[in-house]
A = this chain, B = another copy of it.
């Protein structure tokens, strides 16, 4: 039985911010990463598509980087949203973060065909800047780890209309 995130922060983003190729629910061709709380940590679960190959049998590193990236911004949004008194599912629009930096260590070849689980630990650097440490597991084996510095989306990203 595959685990599933019930209340994901990406379900709550305003439509204008729901087009991300990694985690936007409105991007038909995207990955649709969904990130929620698991106790005091955050979790994203995703099974790569057959074409997300490095060498046949192993997952493409760029997909792992993408997972860690969107898991990072989603985790930061979850954390600031909770700090503001809200949880995903309660109908309040959450803050939207962008990635300032992304760092990934590829520890082991990551097998294809199984769900990947990204587990995040979030730390506030200041109210608009958060650090997310992420571990990615396949079959409970740690395959990659990463760090995202996420910042509240600057106005240069907002639609000009």
Q: Which A residues have a C-beta under 8 Å from some C-beta of B? A: 16-17, 19-22, 24, 27-30, 51-58, 60-63, 65-66, 69-70, 98-106, 109, 153, 156-159
Check if A21 sits within 8 Å of B55, measured CB to CB.
no
Assuming A28-B51, A101-B106, what are 7 further A-B pairs, CB within 8 angstroms?
A: A16-B56, A19-B56, A20-B53, A22-B60, A55-B157, A61-B99, A98-B106
Residues of B near A61 (CB, < 8 A) are 22, 69, 98-99, 102
Give me 7 A-to-B residue pairs in the complex whose CB atoms sit less than 8 angstroms apart, sorted by A's number.
Answer: A19-B54, A55-B153, A55-B158, A61-B69, A62-B65, A62-B66, A102-B102
Instruction: Return chain B residues, CB-CB under 8 Å to A54.
Output: 19-21, 98, 157
Oligomer: number of copies: 2
Bound: A100/B104 CA distance, A:
8
- Whether B22 pairs with A55 at a CB distance below 8 angstroms is no
Q: Which of chain B's residues have a CB closer than 8 A to the CB of A57?
A: 159
Closest beta carbon of chain B to A5's beta carbon, Å: 19
A52 to B31: give the CA distance in the assembly, Å: 11
Question: Contacts of A153 on B, CB cut-off 8 Å?
Answer: 55
